[in-house]
Structure 1
Amino acid sequence: MNMRTRLTLPFVLMVLTLTIALSAPIAAQQATEYGPATGTLVIVGGGSMAGTGIMERFIELGGGAEEGRFVVVPTAGGNYDREGDLRVFDEDQVLASWRERGVMNVSMLHTHDAKLADTEAFSADLAQATAVWFNGGRQWNIVDSYAGTRTYDLFHAVLERGGVIGGSSAGATIQGEYLVRGATEGSQIVMTDEENHQLGFEFLRKSAIDQHINARMRWDDIIPVIEQQPHLLGIGLSEGTAIIVTGDTFEVMGKWKVAVHDNTRTYQPWQKPYFVLAPGDAYDMKARRTVKLGDGTTPRR
């Protein structure tokens, strides 16, 4: 081995070691299977959130009322009114509750036009946003306006920067992979034949999310979804109840219960094919097991 080879070999080994060390955090970020590698999701089952602390938690995750940059999307409320006329949202009305909470930097983002949503000018606020909130309504309206656009990409970019995305009711369902109740004919249809309304925005991958399950007796409604698409994890949310998703784990927050449709479990013939989590419980979606109970204890496996 000549002098040049002896000098080169340690250098190559050093470079390889450094490359592996630097790439380790990136690999760790990419290792999530369900939730985002960075950032947080706040997914709420609709209804009143008064006294739950959910909105306070969302604002905190978004950088705080004074420092965060919030974008509110009311689009699920409808692109057209009952007469078929284009709906116009009053920005002051949409943002009133946020300003009452002391949020200093908050803007509304809405269009019915996917071509407009694909422009840099329309999506400018998202480029710097630390938090995005989707209001309730019908989830397919959100798909019609933003799927496949620059705006859609920038929603995901908020998470990539470590921000937070939240939403309630339709704003919860849109966060999943499968779009539960995506039919334009009515919300009573759980699985639509409309191909353009079957996919959500996949902030929470491999999931199907339903809402209002306690108030509207929807506990069993996503059973057929999981039967037909067994790779999905079904999540049914009660009103005033949220899951806070970090990586592949979520914690239940709020007033009531969350139904988890996990088809990797064995259920007895008399049991429904799901189990229920309470506020404070934490669940590992990748491992498919409850990792913490509301009283802080670890459940027996």
Structure 2
Amino acid sequence: MNKIFFLLVCFISAYINFSSFAQTTGPIRGSLVVVGGGMRDLDILHRFAELAGGHDAPIVVIPTAGGAENYNQYWSGLEQFKQAGFTNLTLIHTYDPNIADTDEFATPIHNAQGVWFTGGRQWRLADAYLNNKVHEALTGLLERDGVIGGSSAGATILGSYLARGDSSGNTIMMGDHEEGFGFIKNIAIDQHLLRRNRHFDLLEIIEAKPGLLGIGLDEDTALVVQGNLFEVIGQSYAVIYDHEDKLASGRQFYFLEPGDEFNLLSRQGYRPEEVLRPFGRMMESN
């Protein structure tokens, strides 16, 4: 009995230790376009179109995070996609997870080459679509090399930990909704970072869950994620929060600019003009 108890304790300890150092990984197939809000830079949507197969590719837009009573094909939020040249747009929406968990509702996603989640509150997306047939269809879209994009709340939901997921207010970093879609594993994503002076907020999550990688995105800035690599595109910065490796100065985050690349698995950033020489978390920029 003592031997069994000892082995059980060892197993639990090993599990806890493994969980604490879970790997951060991107989708095995397909692409993600993760945007920090704003969406004034149409070049980001053009990149999304390229990954989907062109501006005439079938695209599903899901505005549920916005919280309006109803949405239809005349919703004004579709205008920016039309301005960017998209010609084959379908809007789907429900707040009811039972409706979302039907083949009929999920069919447009099965027929799409890309899906886009617009902004609002990320907990609404979790309530409606997490762990049902919509979630399954999104996973299938990636598996057939499609692309999923999202801005603001639509960006945060793509990660595994749902930052600002509390239904009572978006200033609560760790709230009553903590699970995202998990298309990037072991990560928390924040948005509107510098525009709304949020660059210290993710530290609360990373200190409570030190195994997570934190990424904050400013407005009009995006990550293009393929496998375990992402590229920063757009107009501003992505900010990396890694509890395991602080800068030599003691700072707990550092900045990536457009054109920089990052390996999620190794948690290392690169500047392509430096022949993929890593700029370490221990190095400070001028």
Could you tell me the TM-score, scaled by structure 2's length?
Answer: 0.85
- Give the superposed CA RMSD: 1.7
- Equivalent residue runs for 1:88-99 within 5 Å: 88-93=70-75, 94-99=77-82
**For residues 211 and 294 of structure 1, do their structure 2 counterparts lie closer, same or farther at Cα, with a shift above 3 Å needed?**
farther
- 2:46: which partner in 1? 56
**1:143-165 Cα shifts (integer Å, max 9, x gaps):** 11111211111011110110000
- 2:271–2:279: 8 Å Cα contact kept in structure 1? no
Deviation, 1:75, is 0.3
Deviation, 1:60, is 0.9
- 2:263: which partner in 1? 284
- 1:137: which partner in 2? 120
Q: Quick check: which has more Rg, 1 or 2? A: 1
- Alignment partners' CA distance in 1, 2:209 and 2:273: 30
- Equivalent residue runs for 1:62-141 within 5 Å: 62-66=52-56, 68-78=57-67, 87-93=69-75, 94-141=77-124
Deviation, 1:96, is 2.8
- 1:205: which partner in 2? 185
- 1:222: which partner in 2? 202
**For residues 154 and 300 of structure 1, do their structure 2 counterparts lie closer, same or farther at Cα, with a shift above 3 Å needed?**
closer
- Alignment partners' CA distance in 2, 1:130 and 1:75: 20
- Alignment partners' CA distance in 2, 1:296 and 1:110: 45
Instruction: Say if 2:178 is the partner of 1:189.
Output: no
- Alignment partners' CA distance in 2, 1:206 and 1:281: 21
Deviation, 1:291, is 2.7
Residue identity in the other structure for 1:115? N
- Alignment partners' CA distance in 1, 2:136 and 2:201: 31
Deviation, 1:247, is 0.6
Deviation, 1:112, is 1.0
- 2:228–2:265: 8 Å Cα contact kept in structure 1? yes
- 1:36: which partner in 2? 27
- Unaligned runs of 5+ residues in structure 1 are 1-31, 82-86
Three-state SS of the structure 1 residue aligned to 2:85 is: coil
- 2:154: which partner in 1? 171
- 2:36: which partner in 1? 45
Deviation, 1:186, is 0.7
- Alignment partners' CA distance in 2, 1:33 and 1:256: 24
Residue identity in the other structure for 2:96? D
Could you tell me the TM-score, scaled by structure 1's length?
Answer: 0.81
- Alignment partners' CA distance in 2, 1:300 and 1:170: 30
**1:59-90 Cα shifts (integer Å, max 9, x gaps):** 11111112x11000000001xx5xxxxx0113
- Alignment partners' CA distance in 2, 1:232 and 1:130: 30
**1:98-134 Cα shifts (integer Å, max 9, x gaps):** 2333322210010011101011111111112110000
Three-state SS of the structure 2 residue aligned to 1:202 is: coil
**1:163-200 Cα shifts (integer Å, max 9, x gaps):** 000010000000011100001111111111x2xx1101
Deviation, 1:296, is 6.0
Deviation, 1:280, is 0.4
Residue identity in the other structure for 2:63? P
Deviation, 1:290, is 1.3
State the aligned residue count: 257
Residue identity in the other structure for 1:88? N
- 2:212: which partner in 1? 232
**1:254-281 Cα shifts (integer Å, max 9, x gaps):** 111111001221334x532111111100
- Alignment partners' CA distance in 2, 1:137 and 1:296: 39
- Alignment partners' CA distance in 1, 2:250 and 2:199: 13
- 1:95–1:107: 8 Å Cα contact kept in structure 2? no
- Alignment partners' CA distance in 2, 1:239 and 1:92: 26
- Unaligned runs of 5+ residues in structure 2 are 1-22, 281-286
Three-state SS of the structure 1 residue aligned to 2:90 is: strand
- 1:173–1:209: 8 Å Cα contact kept in structure 2? yes
- 1:13: which partner in 2? none
Bigger shift: 102-111 or 166-175?
A: 102-111
- 1:7: which partner in 2? none
